[in-house]
Structure 1
Amino acid sequence: MQRMIAERLQDALLPFQHTLREHALAIDSDPRSISRVLDSGVPFHQFAGLPREFASDPLRVDGEALYLTSCEERVIATEILATGDASMVVGAPGASMSGVLIDALGSNRQRERFYSRVAERPIWTFFGLTEPNRGSDAASLETLVDGDGSGEGRLIGHKKFVGNAARAEIGVVFARFRPGPLGIGAVLVETDRRGFEATPLKTLGFRGVQLSEIQLDAVPVVGADLLGEHLTPSRRGILGAVQVFNALRPVVGALGLGIASAGLDYVRRERRSLRQDEAATMENFDARLQTVRALVRRAAALVDNGQADGAMSSAAKVLSVELASAVTQQMPRLVGGAIRWEHPYLDKLRRDVGALELMEGTSLIQRQNVATGYLQRGLGAARVAK
């Protein structure tokens, strides 16, 4: 099943992969130049993971509509497009991480409010969890809703390293409503509300994502903004963030596969012939690529089957980042020359890898997840990640 989907998506998305690669350096230099890609005919709305009822023009392959809403479809499409430019995949307009949370926690009205806006035209969304003093530790959030605990009040706090926030129109913000672990929740917020201010940050890599800093100065929120208002507090707070991370770690793994594939493709284009030791290095990378790809897709299948507990997704993420890092470290030796000046695309790939390490948890956190899974359940995924 995966092979059939992968082959069909490969044929359908390959032209867009080339387009993203053509614009990669321009966007890396100036993220605002994304308008060039939007005008180039890349149908980002078809890659946005819009649910069937909101997708009026879905991606069609051999006449069949593919909505890219399953994790398996997402990781396959992400790897293909990320081989063109991984930062553009994450920095593209669409539902992104917020959509995964809306699907998990949102009411019918909230889904309509969010997806109808995303489907209307290309807009950006944001996922506001990380804080400058607390990182992504949801249990220790300092951002709060100053109110009576019902969801209504004023949103006060500071978020940082939030993708696309400076250009987004709508997104979600995690905040504390009351003390204790059950006092955490997420609210759906439009960025034109009074007191909401987002500014882009300067970053070394993944510039197409336009990481941003958000200041929340008494932003008004109402009960209808609280995601999971129809759920118990235990299911709509920290658990919501965990569900999103478990579902998206295989996608981050696919980004790593894309960067690794892009580096290997570039080496092959630049070097028509390789020495024996160089050829052996490339063969080793190809074998690792196949192995990690199988793991990433297995993790995605577990997500779709409702069996994901985090261990397999963590193993997939950490191994894909290690592979992308190893490939980009070897590129100067394989290509030769002054890589930063003579091969700016390879320099960009090397800088982009660093961002993957921080997305959805560092490698140390992922290894802890794998170890916990192994100790509690004896998961085979843990043995793979050794």
Structure 2
Amino acid sequence: MTETSNHSAQRLPENPFPDRVDGSASAVPPAALARSRGTDFFWVEDLLDTRERDLLHRVREFCDHTVAPVANDYWERAELPVPLIEGYSKLGVAGGALIGPGCPGLSPLAEGMISAELARGDGSIATFNAVHSGLAMTTVALLGSDEQRERWLPSMAAVESIGAFALTEPNHGSDIVKLETRAHREFDGSWTLTGRKRWIGNGTVADIVVVWARDDDGDVGAFVIEHANGAGDPEPGYAARRITGKAANRAVWQAQIELDEVRIPADHRLAGSRNWADTSRVLAKSRQTVAWEALGHAVAAYEAATTYALHREQFGRRIAGFQLIQDKLAHMLADITGMQAMCVRMSQLQQQGRAAVEHAAITKLATASGARRVCGVARDILGGNGILLDHHVARHHADIEAVYTYEGTDSVQSLIVGRAITGISAFV
């Protein structure tokens, strides 16, 4: 390994300003992504055990040496980074803290720190992980029967099967309780699914799609569409169209899905999915992952800005020596450290079985807005270079806008927290 911890002294690159970053041999060296001094200011990494710390370092090395040098190119072309997904599959992190067949069974803290590390490398890869592991696998693990977990989790943990999570609809995002997709029970016990879904990560490439729908009694359930021959040969009645024109997370694909009486077997309804409370269990868990993701984006932007400031010269001196720049960096690090502390405590509560939906909501509320602020300051420090992909800040600055919105917007999180404060629901 080339690094030992977040708070070790790092060697700065000799040439942090290449002409372009295109994934070739002349691309930005990993050191130029600025594993800068002091990011883990309170040495949170020391809370991990040896196995988890080694895994975190392996993920970090993957992000620095494999993901970051090509991330800008995939992002600019809006191309799914298949080789990077193959590399991700070999890390053994899919499933995170889930306890189930084939799952790594990490601590919630290790799972969160790995999610942040993936986001530090690239938001699209982090989002792929959040959808596949944090949503699809989590739904199967939390709501599936023992037989269903044995059937689907091992191949998903090995990333031999890619998962998707289909909840949001074209007309229902924040008000998804008005879910329109229907699951009709046939005479032979099988189900037919009819409806539309939108913003479904991995929806065009997934092998296993968890679809949320109302049954004939009006109850909400999770139904698994399994493409027997892979995403290239989907089930009859399943049509997925990739959403184009995105200005964030461009290298991970979301889909508009049309379901026209898609027939699935009787045992493809997850046994523990009966109502919205079951859906909320999954979303509370996934919001925790997204909160860590936001932290990862902030760390990446801060590190890039620090490295830039230590090399960029104006008026005959490095700008890192200017009081205004040091003030900005100090406030960025203070934001990051505060966000990190909230994430750590949230993960500890999860480990103890005490994490509630409001804990995930307030953490996501704080980290998404904080990361947005940190990325904005980083872009400012880089001046005109801040809008160039070469320096990586522009990509994180754009991608944090997606994180700020998905898994519940800033306003939705505030209403969840407000309900916990007052005991009054203000959603309607």
Q: TM-score, normalised by structure 2?
A: 0.77
Counterpart CA distance in 2 for 1:313 and 1:45 is 26
Q: 1:124 aligns with which of 162, 169, 182?
A: 162
Q: 2:216 aligns with which of 178, 184, 188?
A: 178
Counterpart CA distance in 1 for 2:269 and 2:69 is 41
Shift, 1:344, TM fit: 5.9
Give 2:184's aligned residue: 146
Shift, 1:102, TM fit: 1.1
1:253 pairs with 2:300:
no
Shift, 1:38, TM fit: 4.3
Shift, 1:342, TM fit: 6.7
Displacement over 6 Å in runs of 4+: none
1:198 pairs with 2:198:
no
Q: Deviations over 1:106-162 (max 9, x none)?
A: 001111221133245533210000000111534211100133699633100000001
Q: 2:266 aligns with which of 223, 229, 239?
A: 223
Alignment identity in percent? Answer: 24
Q: What's the secondary structure of 2:384's corresponding residue?
A: coil
Unaligned runs of 5+ in 1: 59-66, 378-386
Of 125-134 and 76-85, more deviation after overlay is shown by 76-85
Aligned length: 359
> What amino acid sits opposite 1:318 in the alignment?
L
Counterpart CA distance in 1 for 2:213 and 2:386 is 44
Give 1:214's aligned residue: 257
Shift, 1:4, TM fit: 2.8
> Larger radius of gyration, structure 1 or 2?
2
Cα separation, partners in 2 of 1:105 and 1:42, compared to 1, 3 Å:
closer
Cα separation, partners in 2 of 1:130 and 1:149, compared to 1, 3 Å:
farther
Q: Deviations over 1:62-114 (max 9, x none)?
A: xxxxx254432211111122111122122259544111111111001111221
Q: 2:83 aligns with which of 18, 28, 36?
A: 36
Q: TM-score, normalised by structure 1?
A: 0.85
Of 313-322 and 44-53, more deviation after overlay is shown by 44-53
Give 2:3's aligned residue: none
1:349 pairs with 2:396:
yes
Q: Deviations over 1:230-278 (max 9, x none)?
A: x5xxx63211210011112121111111100000111112121421011
Counterpart CA distance in 1 for 2:370 and 2:67 is 22
Cα separation, partners in 2 of 1:363 and 1:117, compared to 1, 3 Å:
same
Q: 1:288 aligns with which of 325, 335, 339?
A: 335
Q: Which has the higher helix share?
A: 1
Q: What's the secondary structure of 1:46's corresponding residue?
A: coil
Counterpart CA distance in 2 for 1:2 and 1:375 is 36
Q: 2:405 aligns with which of 344, 351, 358?
A: 358
Q: What's the secondary structure of 1:227's corresponding residue?
A: coil
> What amino acid sits opposite 1:195 in the alignment?
G
Cα separation, partners in 2 of 1:27 and 1:342, compared to 1, 3 Å:
closer
- Counterparts of residues 70-149 of structure 1 (less than 5 Å): 70-92=107-129, 94-119=132-157, 121-147=159-185
Give 2:59's aligned residue: 13
> What amino acid sits opposite 2:110 in the alignment?
E
Counterpart CA distance in 2 for 1:288 and 1:325 is 11
Q: What's the secondary structure of 1:253's corresponding residue?
A: helix
- Counterparts of residues 161-172 of structure 1 (less than 5 Å): 161-172=199-210
8 Å contact kept, 2:201–2:255: yes
Counterpart CA distance in 1 for 2:212 and 2:243 is 20
Cα separation, partners in 2 of 1:307 and 1:356, compared to 1, 3 Å:
same
Counterpart CA distance in 2 for 1:48 and 1:82 is 15
> What amino acid sits opposite 2:135 in the alignment?
M
1:238 pairs with 2:272:
no
> What amino acid sits opposite 1:270 in the alignment?
Y
Give 2:13's aligned residue: none
> What amino acid sits opposite 2:140 in the alignment?
I
Root-mean-square deviation (CA, aligned residues, Å) is: 2.5
8 Å contact kept, 2:386–2:393: yes
Q: What's the secondary structure of 1:83's corresponding residue?
A: helix
Unaligned runs of 5+ in 2: 1-43, 228-233, 311-317
Q: What's the secondary structure of 1:204's corresponding residue?
A: coil
Counterpart CA distance in 2 for 1:342 and 1:209 is 17
